[in-house]
Structure 1
Amino acid sequence: MYIALSESPKEQERERREGSKLPSNPEEVEDLRGGDSAANPLIAFTFEELKIITANFRQDRVLGGGGFGNVYKGFIPEDLREGLQIQPLPLPVAVKVHDGDNSYQGHREWLAEVIFLGQLSHPNLVKLIGYCCQDDHRVLIYEYMPRGSVENNLFS
């Protein structure tokens, strides 16, 4: 899914002059999500937690890939973090790892997904559970859909 973020030429010029002001940590991501973060909370995972969830990003856990990077199947274990408010545990998840394109545009696309999908809640849409915004890692964590994508079911 791609979400276009359009800016006026004036806004683009201002960003060029001021430099990139994209978030570099979970607190800044939540600030950008604004008031929505209370209604639709997302979990900020650490990269170390994602290594546990995906068994260190094992290749036999790869569900698919694309221009963005690989998607891994993982499980959020009961003992991952004290006070984690997810039920039931262990919870199967799909972990979408951004391909390392840390360009301004790549980061904006990742952020658009966090903000947009973090606002949505519908029975026919995959739920965004959380994200990782640590160092150069940009990762999205979705609920796992055992029957695959709509595209796979329609065209296979």
Structure 2
Amino acid sequence: MRMLFRCLVGWSEPAAPAESGDEQQQQQARRLGKKKAVRRMRSATARLRSLSLGELSRTLASSGLHAFTQAELRAATRGVSGSQLIGEGGFGPVYRGFLDERLRPGELEPQHVAVKFLDADGQQGHREWLAEVVYLGMLKHPHLVKLIGYGCEDEQRMLVYEYMD
């Protein structure tokens, strides 16, 4: 991820002191591995950008994320209560919620979540929402918030993240 960030902003690390031949080969192998990973990510990004809405939807269905109904997420956030409001951004309000064991017995463990209710305006809004779901569904890293699932009902788009204090 750091390598990807450096590629985007053009930063480089300070030069390291001279190393032995074995250490240089190991470092070169690590750099090559990172370059391949960046190429794979760029290739995946290009493929996702070229997909139609239908193809993006099929990709979403195979993401392994949980699909929630609007009713389930409203119940989890106590009816989208103002007391549960965490914040509001350009895409809409974010509420704290709790998924209990009755929601999906044996499928989901009880946990606190953050539910983002997106204000999707037309096809572009839906495409952005799909892209966020697909990207965050693919990315797993200890420094990134985990996307647990999503909701898509009528004009309402929702994202369900692990809750972080």
TM-score (normalizing by structure 2) = 0.64
Identity level (%):
50
Q: Does 2:90 correspond to 1:67?
A: yes
The structure showing larger relative contact order (alpha-carbon pairs under 8 Å, at least 6 residues apart) is: 1
Structure 2, unaligned runs of 5 or more = 1-44
In the aligned structure 1, how far is the partner of 2:89 from the partner of 2:144?
A: 20
Q: Does 2:110 correspond to 1:94?
A: no
Query: Structure 2 vs 1, CA of residues 74 and 34 (structure 1 numbering), >3 Å: closer, same or farther?
Result: closer
Query: 2:115 aligns to what SS in structure 1?
Result: strand
CA drift of 1:32 comes to 2.2
- Give the helix-richer structure, 1 or 2: 2
Query: 1:74 aligns to what SS in structure 2?
Result: strand
Runs (4+) of structure 1 exceeding 6 A deviation are: none
Contact 2:88 / 2:94 at 8 angstroms: preserved in 1? Answer: yes
Residue number in structure 2 paired with 1:150: none
Larger Rg: 2
Contact 2:101 / 2:108 at 8 angstroms: preserved in 1? Answer: no
TM-score (normalizing by structure 1) = 0.68
Aligned residues: 119
AA aligned to 1:32 is T
Structure 1, unaligned runs of 5 or more = 12-20, 147-156
Residue number in structure 2 paired with 1:80: 103
Residue number in structure 1 paired with 2:59: 32
In the aligned structure 2, how far is the partner of 1:62 from the partner of 1:45?
A: 19
Query: 1:122 aligns to what SS in structure 2?
Result: coil
